[in-house]
Amino acid sequence: HNVLVLNGPNLNLLGTRQPEVYGSTTLHMIEDRCVQHGASIGLDVTHLQSNHEGVLLDAIHAARGVQSGLILNAGAFTHTSIALMDAIASVELPVVEVHLSNIHARETFRHRSYIAPVALGQICGFGAHSYILALDALAAHLKAGST
Ligand code: DQA
């Protein structure tokens, strides 16, 4: 199975960005771990980060028929983007929503996710490990569907 790990705005700054909230692991390290862990559970992982909503939309559209599923940390677009929600609903791919921080324990404006209603599920609060948990969840879902 092919899986795209898609990261949105400001996540390129991980490692130096509010480490007390997001940890000190860089995005490169997270992406490397996703590729490694994916390989160990039978997922061929590619990754993309963009600060631009349109680029994220294009990547979701291009994933249709190419990827088996998506891991998505949409950053702050999580809380604002009806366009991302519509894109996910349109491509009919299983999406696991990921956040490093526990968005439900933070400001009220972070509690609302436009991704959640169209996602398979949401994993948040486990720092960089959230991505690994998300890959495991997606792998289990894909395995269940392929039998
Ligand atoms: C985030 C949480 C969002 O609220 C925030 O805007 C981010 C990162 C997370 O991974 O914890 O950019 O998605």
pLDDT tens digits, the chain, 147 residues: what are they? 999 999 999 999 999 988 999 989 999 999 999 999 999 999 999 999 999 999 999 999 999 999 999 999 999 999 999 999 999 999 999 999 999 999 999 999 999 999 999 999 999 999 999 999 999 999 999 999 875
The verdict on the CB of residue 94 being under 6 Å from ligand 1 is no
| Distance, CA of 20 to CA of 122 (rounded, Å) | 22
What's the rounded Cα separation, in Å, for the pair 95 and 25?
23
Contacts of 140 (CB under 8 A, 6+ apart): none
Q: How far is residue 76's CA from residue 52's CA, in Å, rounded to a whole number?
A: 11
ipTM over 0.90: yes
* Residues sharing a CB contact under 8 Å with residue 10, sequence separation 6 or more, in sequence order: 17, 51, 75, 76
Ligand 1 centroid distance, CA of 147 (Å): 35
130 lines ligand 1 (CB under 6 A): no
* CB-ligand 1 contact for 110 (6 Å cutoff): yes
What domain range is 132 assigned to? 2-145
CATH code, domain with 115? 3.40.50.9100
Amino acid 145: pLDDT = 86
DSSP-derived secondary structure letter, 54:
H
99 flagged as catalytic: yes
3-state secondary structure at position 72:
strand
Q: What is the pTM of this model?
A: 0.96
* Residue whose CA lies nearest to ligand 1 atom number 12: 75
Q: Give the total number of structural domains in the chain.
A: 1
Annotated ligand binding at 86? The verdict is: yes
